Amino acid sequence: MSASLLNESGPPWPYFSQEQASASSSTLDARAFDLLCLTVACTLAVHLPHMPAWLGAALGALMSLRWLQWRTRRGHIPALARFALLIALSLAIVASYHTPFGRAPGTALAMGLLVLKLLESERERDARMTVGFSFFILMSALLFTQTLAMSLLVVLALLPGLATLRALQADAPQRRTLGLFKPAAGLLLASSPLALLAFVFVPRLSAPLWGAPGADVARTGISDRMSPGDMRDLLIDDSPAMRIGFDDAPPPMSQLYFRGLVLWYFDGRAWSRGVTGIRNQGPQALTLRGGLTHYEVTLEPTRRRWLFALDVPIQASDGARLGADRTLDRSRPVDETARYEVTSATNYVLAPQIDPALERAALQLPADYDPRAVALARSWRARFGRDDAAIARAALDLFRNGGFAYNLAAPPLGRDSVDDFLFGTKQGYCEHYASAFAFLMRAAGVPARVVAGYHGGYWNGYAHYLLVRQSEAHAWDEVWLSGRGWVRVDPTAMVRRTLFAGTANGGSSGETAWWLVWSDRFDVVNRLWDRSVIGFDALRQSTMFTPFGIPHLEWEELAVGLATGIVVMLSLGLLVALHKPSGKPRDALDAAQRRLQEKLGKHGLSRQPQEGPRDFFARCMLALPGSRPELAALARTYLQLRYGYATPPAEPVRAYSRAVRNFRPQGVVK
């Protein structure tokens, strides 16, 4: 009886055979393709900072043309055209990077291949492969930088890909596209515990995988060569340079000079470190006049070998070498965030007796440069005789009372740069003043040298550390005075700042911008990220349970912890699944069928627990003779979709849902 009823008139909408449904489901619809393009676009956007501008623009244009072509004509791009683009991409990468190997060219090539994959993505299988490939390339962005901002950006860029995968499912909801991002966010949240478990317990390598170098874009801004004008871009850069945590109260602001490089040699234009023989001597003698300061420095990647320490360092950890001029170097460049401990003195006498070789280096000047400055310095020597301190005070009085101004937009200088600055422009910043002061001292016969580093910083009272930004880069001088040794002199402090233009730390008044204050406060999160995540290396992993009486973890114990955590998580997931409400629909087809049963239930035709769908439909057709054709069509389609496929195709399920929504029971038998 039920079989004959179900074989009555066909469905009022086009019936989908299994072959037709498979073909329909394998072809991308407009929503899925739009989300796929968005996924590739987000991946490209994340990689733009470390990709050549021309390549980013070309890939963006190609992706836009592909979206326009697919949405207007849905034609196929010929294989020959895709092959030509592949050859052009490979040649362009080699021409730009001069090699196809390495992190930067490899990532650029992979990004180009991802866009080319989009050109041939027509079916669901292609879309799933493209999404998986984009996830792989997206993670490679963390090879360049692992800051909190970049990590959050990578996580957010995963959402379009997860939404795309949700749109490709047969039971994808028909609501707005934005609605697909909700389950995508849910997947990210659900995976967070497993990610945290893997982060803590997966054994760490003691060195980067495959010896991968640090980020190509790492920089410090403090170069070993300084000429007037070189620091301008650095002084308007608000990015962090280093963070310092003191064991006790920090020194006053006037003592926060962080020594990086000592520049001995002047060629008439720029200052440099000079000959290796000077730097390789033993540390100059130091007499302490006060207590010591111990602190930890977290230095951002610089790709340089020199480190920065509070003036002057006594000793340092991490294998750093203390040079003759009390600067710190290490054997390998700082290619990733470096942490090292230093002990420094802020009240001292440095080199009460000067070495003859160092004295000669501290008096070196090029011949036939800056004659007016040389004449001025010699006039001071004739006036003050052997009083070197008086000569230094005369130079500082010149900067204080000579009409000089601090200005980041200082005019360029000519061949005789010191003369042009002292007697012409009288505008500049720390490089100009430190260079001119050291030149005047040497011309007057006073040993002098230029020191480059950082001065000041923002004391974060919330987390008790000093944040030093790139904009705190500074240059000052040291002069050697008999009986006092090397004495720090900061000629820039003598200069009025009415033309203090375009700096990162404030406007013409020198006040700190309100947004920079909040940025400094937010840096607490960045420091926590650096210490807890970026700094979670093999050593910290092996000792993380020391407070619980386990001094050291071997890889076997880490593996046991990882396995235990996975078992616990799976058990919790199983409990949640077992306690899942039974009335919740399994998928879109089940949801549509429940809506149909609710409609029929309002007419007294409730489905019995022991009743299968075939018998239920047959009983309803007997009770509703006026709706028999529609019910027969609904029954055939439902049985075909539910029992004919492992996963019902999306389009027939949508058609069935529409038919259920439009169904109105008629002809009820009383």
Distance CA 142, CA 660 (A): 49
Q: Which has the closest alpha carbon to 588: 649, 635, 504?
A: 649
374-410 burial: b if 16+ Cβ within 10 Å, else e: bebbeebbeebeeebeebbebbbebbeeeebbbbbeb
Would you state the structure tokens that stand for residue 288, as one six-digit string? 């302490």
H-only helix segments in 500-554: 514-529, 538-542
Which active-site residues does the annotation give?
Answer: 430, 474, 490
- Asked whether the CA dihedral 639, 641, 642, 645 is positive or negative, the reply is positive
Is-contact 660 595, C-beta < 8 A?
yes
Would you state the structure tokens that stand for residue 136, as one six-digit string? 């792989």
Q: Can you give the three-state secondary structure of 620-658, one letter per residue?
A: HHHHCHHHHHHHHHHHHHHHHHHHHCCCCCHHHHHHHHH
- Would you give the distance in Å from CA 337 to the centre of its chain? 13
Distance CA 170, CA 206 (A): 46
Distance CA 562, CA 516 (A): 42
CA angle 213, 216, 222 (to 5 degrees): 110
Distance CA 407, CA 500 (A): 5
Work out the end-to-end distance of the chain between its first and last CA atoms, rounded to an integer number of angstroms: 21
Q: Is 126 helix (H, G, I), strand (E, B) or coil?
A: helix
> Which residue, chain included where needed, has tokens 């990733």?
336
Please confirm whether the linkage preceding 312 is cis (ω < 30° from 0): yes
Q: What are phi and psi of 216, to 5 degrees?
A: -70, -25
